[in-house]
Chain A
């Protein structure tokens, strides 16, 4: 078979392979997206870490901070981090 035809067929085959693969590859980063809808945010497209996958971790750490703040406010006296359990019992 002529090289040109072979190249065209190969190129088309690669495009079809991309068609099969791309949707799955594209949805992977979105599964880490903290947005309520499946969409790429502006920050994600600018490749800013807060807008992309790390947003989940940012969100989780914000939740953690908030919980910590609430707990401290309610309980008042929270032992400093690194305090061992045995010292608390004592």
Chain B
């Protein structure tokens, strides 16, 4: 019993630390994606009255008038207007007209704007001000609620996030594939080299780790820009003309190149440690039994390195899914990923609910992909 208590005593600080810096912040972020308290602050009486309202009761016009006048007096109209604009569906114009009427002294909502006589407007408002909302999650999937409360696609010009999710997954897959193509031979060279060359190569692989991410990304801007080193080299070699300089940065090419450079060590190091553990005698045995080099590689070496490949791939893929700094710096307009939208909604548009919903969906995507990968890996184990 005492031993058990002592063990708990040792583990508890770590558990508290993980809960405080990991579970609670992420949980509160996810919570924000479905729980919206902004309306309770903007229209307190109306949201309370609409929440308590039975369908048959008269709409709480007095509460709305009181809230609007109070918001106008307290200078909260810009915040309210911003939020209404985000909701779309003409609500902002309805509230603006209503407020102008109230300022003139009118106190009958139906006379100020006939839309208040329509029960659908009140239904819409009631759905909107509920503390628990699916609006952000729907928004993050390019969906919205129509006037009848049904789920429909966003209008063509407002669809953005599904394409960005797809682009992010494709970029992450592309970066992982590039890391596999570039990292596998490098890891092999490291594992099979003599101690001196191995030390040098390890230094080269570790070098990016010791350099700030910003420095590395800036270095790629220097290399890839129109007047940069690579374009200068291509022009001086006569491969491209002065006018035909390539656009290598501030687009998807720049994002891919810089991301592969940043993430390659994360692929090489786990693969290298697995390759180091493979006895050279296995390959020699395969060759001495008459197999050609490619056959030995395919039947002996590659299967033995698979744990390293899957660990490195998973690491690179998951990191690439949430990558933010590099696309923000070298991505330009076409090289942005979903994480840049999360940052945009956190920092610029201040739509934290939508940022939380996109973040939550990204987390869900990672979990689903991880579960699928581990299932495939287990199936392979069973098959072998």
> Bound pair: A and B?
yes
Q: Tell me the chain A residues, 11-55 only, with Cβ under 8 Å from chain B.
A: 12-14, 16-17, 19-24, 26-27, 30, 38-40
Look across to chain A and name the residue whose beta carbon is closest to the beta carbon of B217. Answer: A23
A53 to B320, CA, bound (A): 36
B126 interface residue per 8 A CB criterion: no
B293 to chain A: which residues have CB within 8 Å? 1-2, 5
The count of chain B contact residues (Cβ–Cβ below 8 Å) is 33
Look across to chain A and name the residue whose beta carbon is closest to the beta carbon of B260. Answer: A19
Q: Using known A-B contacts A26-B219, A27-B219, A27-B222, determine if residue A21 contacts B204 with beta carbons closer than 8 Å.
A: yes
A23 to B223, CA, bound (A): 7
Q: Is A13 in contact with B261, judged by CB distance below 8 angstroms?
A: no
Q: Using known A-B contacts A1-B293, A16-B183, A16-B185, determine if residue A23 contacts B219 with beta carbons closer than 8 Å.
A: yes
Give the Cβ gap from A13 to chain B, nearest Cβ, in Å.
3
Question: Interface majority SS on A: helix, strand, loop or mixed?
Answer: helix
Q: Is A39 in contact with B188, judged by CB distance below 8 angstroms?
A: no
Stretch with Cβ within 8 A of A (4 or more), from B12-20, B58-66, B166-174, B226-234:
B226-234
A24 to chain B: which residues have CB within 8 Å? 207-208, 211, 215-216, 219
A30 to B227, CA, bound (A): 14
Q: Is B218 in contact with A20, judged by CB distance below 8 angstroms?
A: no
Look across to chain A and name the residue whose beta carbon is closest to the beta carbon of B227. Answer: A39
Give the Cβ gap from B308 to chain A, nearest Cβ, in Å.
16
A22 to chain B: which residues have CB within 8 Å? 223
A13 to B296, CA, bound (A): 20
Q: Is A20 in contact with B223, judged by CB distance below 8 angstroms?
A: no
Give the Cβ gap from A73 to chain B, nearest Cβ, in Å.
40
Looking at the complex, which one of B183, B186, B218 makes contact with A38 (CB distance below 8 Å)? B218
Q: Is A20 in contact with B189, judged by CB distance below 8 angstroms?
A: no
Q: Is A17 in contact with B186, judged by CB distance below 8 angstroms?
A: yes
B182 to chain A: which residues have CB within 8 Å? 16, 19
The count of chain A contact residues (Cβ–Cβ below 8 Å) is 22
Q: Is A13 in contact with B216, judged by CB distance below 8 angstroms?
A: no
Looking at the complex, which one of B222, B227, B283 makes contact with A26 (CB distance below 8 Å)? B222
Q: Is B261 in contact with A30, judged by CB distance below 8 angstroms?
A: no
Look across to chain A and name the residue whose beta carbon is closest to the beta carbon of B188. Answer: A9
A10 interface residue per 8 A CB criterion: yes
Give the Cβ gap from A84 to chain B, nearest Cβ, in Å.
45
Q: Is A13 in contact with B188, judged by CB distance below 8 angstroms?
A: yes
Look across to chain B and name the residue whose beta carbon is closest to the beta carbon of A8. Answer: B185
Look across to chain B and name the residue whose beta carbon is closest to the beta carbon of A14. Answer: B189
Q: Using known A-B contacts A20-B264, A24-B208, determine if residue A9 contacts B228 with beta carbons closer than 8 Å.
A: no
A62 to B209, CA, bound (A): 38
Give the Cβ gap from B205 to chain A, nearest Cβ, in Å.
6
Further pairs besides A23-B222, A24-B216: 20, Cβ < 8 Å = A1-B293, A1-B296, A9-B188, A12-B186, A13-B185, A13-B186, A13-B189, A13-B190, A14-B189, A16-B182, A16-B183, A17-B205, A20-B264, A23-B216, A23-B220, A27-B215, A38-B221, A38-B222, A39-B225, A39-B227
Q: List 10 A-B contacts (CB under 8 A).
A: A9-B188, A12-B186, A20-B204, A23-B216, A24-B207, A24-B216, A26-B229, A27-B222, A38-B218, A39-B227
A interface with B by C-beta (< 8 Å): 1-2, 5, 9-10, 12-14, 16-17, 19-24, 26-27, 30, 38-40
B interface with A by C-beta (< 8 Å): 182-183, 185-186, 188-190, 201, 204-205, 207-208, 211, 215-216, 218-223, 225, 227-229, 232, 261, 264-265, 283, 287, 293, 296
